Amino acid sequence: MKNIFRIFKYIKGYKREVILNIVFNILYVFASLFSFVIVIPFVSVLFGIIKAPAICPELAFNKDVIIDYFAWKLNNLSLEYGLYTCLAILSVVYLIFAFFSALFRYLGMYFLAPIRNGVVKDLRNDIYHKITTLPLSFFSNKRKGDLLSRMSSDLLDIEISVISSLQMIIKDPIMVIVFLVALIIASPKLVIFIFIILPLVAILIRQIGASLNRNSEKGQKQIGRVLSTVEETLGGIRVINAYNAEEIVKKKFEGENNVYTKLMTKILRRKDLSSPLTEIFAIFALVVVVLFGGMMVINGEIHPSILIGFVLLFARIISPMQSVTTAYYNLKKAEAAAQRIYEILDAPERIIEKPNAITTINFEDRIEYKNVYFSYIEEEGKDKLVLDNINLEIEKGKTIAIVGRSGAGKSTLIDLLPRFQDALQGDITIDGISIKDFNINSLRNKIGVVTQESILFNDTIFGNIAFGINASLEEVQEAAKAANAHKFIENLPKGYYTNIGDRGLTISGGERQRICIARAILKNPAILLLDEATSALDTESERLVQESLETIMKGRTTLVVAHRLSTILNSDKIIVMDEGKIVEEGDHHSLLAKDGIYSKLIALQTL
């Protein structure tokens, strides 16, 4: 359970609360113990089980002496004030101990609450931060639904199973230990019978715990599949409706959901077995104690009061023993969730910033790709080569168009420049300085990106255009005008403060893309990366946006991944990629004259 112990390390940030929780739990245990102990001598004297000594013994740390001392005191009090008065006094004392016992228990839980919620908060923050810093290659073979399940159901499992077990992990073991010490002091011989039975319980608990861990791992993976199915359905609802495939996706979801339900039923049944199993063995041990303890009383080996106290204390210890067992099962169940969470937290951050990275970037000359290789790791663990020995020189202020068949490596080529991913071999330099020497934030501040997919957030248009930038409304409006988006924005109900919903689905595809372009314009970057930026636009919108792009591209270094002729003609250089290599390079006319891959791509487009 090493991953569970790693989660417990988050408790270090709450030392004060942990110390107070432990202190009050210890006080609770001793208050509970004394509330039982003070009853034993009174009951013994009341029912004549033991006789009070004629002379008050000198108090010492010995159970027989303590029993005689309290018996003498109680006997004197009963003779002086009467038996009912003694009973009333004892009841008041018992109530005082019970009150403090309840108070200390509450205070222990009071200081546990910020630990429980704080640890989960810190863990959730670390997971989210890790996700935002991992390279894009980490997500290439991951389902969104599976990642969402780790952030939701796995973390919820940790919260319920691990953090909620903290009280049982801290309080109940202390209670078991303290009460066991009291039992050993009362009668070591009777405790031996208990320890003969406990190993049998431990073996059964371990076997069921191992089974829980295996099934929990399967369950966490299965809920990832369920969430992935939901995510795919939400993303493709139009296609599902268009092809009347509602029944197909319904059956698929129900199948995945049924498998998950069966797994969780099996897990809960195994988990629920822990408490009654512990109770049965504890009661069996109690019966053995009563039988052998009765024989010891008959043989005069122990006082009858010792047996009464032993039985009372042992009966009281059954509940915390059950809690300890339940906590163990909870931890075993959560081990699978913890393992999946640490697969994210332990994932290598291949995009590593140097300690003394350069924060000032004066882009004056050129960008160079030097012998660059890149590959993805597929699900089978094999490397898929995407870029193969790329050498490319891009002068400042020039526009480079990148064309090629789908899967040629075009998007990966431009992703390496802002370090969304890092080359496995080779280097990329700006003015002769490796981009790995630059501060990542400073590097990305120099670069504006517009992707093929219109990536918008559930926010206002103003919030989406000014995303990550402290800009005024006037500046946002100027950027929108440059992207030919201002007119349609002004016609919306709340203008720039209109919320466009999840992924901007309340507006058209062309409008979404123009907002993305306005966001890049507002950033005013020295380097512009356009990955099929106009592919989602209709003919009219494409013309308007293309005019805007041509305006803002002047004086900027631009890399354009495109296949439309309109975005290629005005480029200073065109490179043609095929199977991860640059196979052709030149301007539009020279490449056409070669009658190679480029000319075939153009011919297919003009058909």
What is the rounded distance in angstroms from the CA atom of residue 46 to the CA atom of residue 591? 110
Q: What is the pLDDT averaged over residues 2-30?
A: 84
Residue 115 lies in a domain: yes
Residue 371 in tokens? 């012998």
User: Average per-residue pLDDT in the chain?
Assistant: 78
What confidence tens digit (pLDDT) does each residue in 323-334 have? 777 777 677 767
CA 411 – CA 532 distance, rounded (Å):
9
Q: How far apart are CA 573 and CA 592, in angstroms?
A: 13
Asked if 7 contacts 331 with a C-beta cutoff of 8 angstroms, the reply is no
Q: Is residue 83 part of a domain?
A: yes
Q: Would 469 be classed as within a structural domain?
A: no
| Both structure tokens of 444 | 């990305």
For residue 79, is it within any domain? Answer: yes
| pLDDT tens digits, one per residue of 451-488 | 777 778 888 999 988 888 888 999 999 888 888 888 88
Classify residue 293: in a domain, yes or no: yes
Which range marks the domain in which residue 15 is found? 2-342
Instruction: Read off the pLDDT band of 417 (50, 70, 90).
Output: very high
In this structure, the strands spanning 383-395 and 573-578 are unpaired
CATH of the domain at 154: 1.20.1560.10
Q: In the predicted model, is pLDDT for residue 339 greater than 70?
A: yes
Q: What is residue 419's three-state secondary structure?
A: coil
What is the rounded distance in angstroms from the CA atom of residue 362 to the CA atom of residue 180?
Answer: 72
Per-residue pLDDT for 368 more than 90?
yes
Q: Report how far residue 544's alpha carbon sits from residue 564's, in angstroms, rounded to the nearest whole number.
A: 15
Please determine, for residue 541, whether its predicted confidence score (pLDDT) is greater than 70. Answer: no
C-alpha gyration radius of the chain: 37
Residue 377 lies in a domain: no
Residue 6: inside a domain: yes
Terminal CA-to-CA distance of the chain, rounded, Å? 63
Q: 6-10, 319-323, 408-412, 437-441: which range is least confident on average?
A: 319-323
pLDDT at 46: 59
pLDDT of residue 436: 92
pLDDT on residue 434: 93
Q: Would you say residue 255 lies in a domain?
A: yes
Number of domains in the chain: 1
For the record, the structure tokens of 269 come out as 């049944």
Task: Using DSSP, state whether 379 is helix, strand or coil.
Answer: coil
